[in-house]
Structure formats: structure tokens, C-alpha cells
Amino acid sequence: MIAVKNLSKSFKKIRAVDSINFEVNDGEIVGLLGENGAGKTTTLRVLATMLKPTEGTAMVNGYDINKEPETVRGEIGILFGGEVGLYDRLTARENIRYFAELNGMSRREADESIDKLSQSLEMDKYIDKKVGKFSRGMKQKVAIVRSIVHNPSVILFDEPTAGLDVTAARIVQEFILKCKNEKKAIIFSSHTMSEVEKLCNKIIIIHKGKILEEGTIKNIKLKYKSEDMEEIFMNLVGGNDEK
């Protein structure tokens, strides 16, 4: 479970995240929506203990990100969009195993987990090949397995299907739903509204570091009397800009 409490992060004079509060329960996928620069990735990096908050805190499975950052790191899996940061000269298994061992897993435990996850993501044919010549989609799958090989109960996904073709994206989406069924607490950031509607129990719309709206997709549609989430999103963001 994640509980965010009055969390803020500033960079010099810029308030990237501004006193936000929300919770993510076990077995729940919460979608974090916002334009580029809205504060989504900064929020996730603070929760991952990669950045220290300027104010406030968050609890991850009861551990405080300010007071117990090392323990928090063992509770979470992280996958950020963009460059996946793999070692081209190593095989997919070797890349994943390296991070598994950093998380305290033995080689046997790591390989058992890798075999199980690679089967789930249909990676068996290339799990023991060097990643240097992998496609973008293949590398993204390796990065996903690397982020969750230690079986964390909390997962932070920042645009995990970016750059994937339709087939690969669907496999990843199905895997995320499987994680939900395993009662993991998941924050899912995406720019694709259809993907968010398909996967998320509820959504949080963030703009200029502030939360503009939060709730289930059904309730938000009822509140704004529209079935078009993109239209609701644009009206909220645009209306906020005009103030």
C-alpha cells in the first residue's frame, strides 16, 4: 500500500509537486495522468526514494520514504519510460540477474524468478541472448522483468508500453493486470487514455504539480456528464490554465 501525505518537491523556484495526497491500496492500479511537466515522473521518483521530498512524506507498506529509504527500495519495483539502461554485451538473463542480486536474491532464486517472468512475457526465445541487437519492445520487456524480479508488492510504472507495437503492448498490459490480481499496489503513468481506462481502478489527474481530479473513471464521467475521458481531461487542464 502507498499513502502519500502532503507531498511536495521543489527545484529552485519551481514547485514540481505541490502538496499532493492520495492512496493506492493492495490489488489496485491507480492511473497518474498529466501533460509533460505536470509532475508525474517527479512524484514517482520521490516515491522511489530517488529524490527527497521538499515537504511531506509517503508511506510504502508502512515504511516512511524519509526515515526508511533503504527498506522502501526493497518493497518497490520501478520502471521509467525512455532509455532502459541495459548492458548490451550481457544477455537478458545476465542483465536481470545482476539487479536481482543487488536486491539480495541468490542466483538460484533469481533464475527461478527470471524463468517464470520470461514465460509470462513470452521472452523464452531470447532470454539467454545478448541484448545489444534487441528491438525496442524486447528491451522494454527485459527492463520490466528487471524491475520486478524480486517480487515487490508495490510497482511504479511510468509509460511501460511506450515504443511497443500493439502485440507487445497487449502482453505488457495483461501482465500488469496479472500483477493486480496478485494484490500488488500499482501506480501506472501513461499518455494513452484508452490504456488507462482499460487498466486502472481509479485515476489521478495532475497539472502543474497539483491534483485536479481523482476518482474512478465511472464517477468522473458521471460528475462531468461525459463519456469522453480525453475531453474531460482537456477541459480540466485547459480550464486550470485559464485561472
Q: Is 239 exposed, middle or buried (0-12, 13-18, 19+ CB in 10 A)?
A: exposed
| CATH code of the domain in which 121 resides | 3.40.50.300
* Domain limits for position 136: 2-242
- Residue 144 makes CB contacts below 8 A (sequence gap 6+) with 79, 121, 160, 172, 175
Q: Is 90 exposed, middle or buried (0-12, 13-18, 19+ CB in 10 A)?
A: middle
Where do the DSSP E strands lie in the chain?
2-11, 14-24, 28-33, 55-60, 63-64, 76-79, 154-158, 185-189, 202-207, 210-215
Partners of 11 in the beta sheet?
Answer: 14
Q: Kind and range of the H or E element at 140?
A: helix 136-148
Whole-structure pTM value: 0.88
Cβ atoms of 65 and 72 within 8 Å: the answer is yes
- 160 — phi, psi (to 5°)? -70, -20
What type of residue is 238? Answer: G
Q: What is the pLDDT of residue 218?
A: 94
Domains held by the chain: number:
1
> Tens place of pLDDT for every residue, the chain, 243 residues?
999 999 999 998 899 999 999 999 999 999 999 888 899 999 999 999 999 999 999 999 999 999 999 999 989 998 876 657 899 999 999 999 999 998 889 999 999 999 999 998 889 999 999 999 998 888 888 988 998 999 999 999 988 887 778 887 888 888 889 899 999 999 999 878 888 999 999 999 999 999 999 999 999 999 999 999 999 999 998 866 654
Separation CA 126–CA 91 (nearest Å): 8
Separation CA 93–CA 127 (nearest Å): 6
Q: Are strands 154-158 and 76-79 parallel, antiparallel or unpaired?
A: parallel
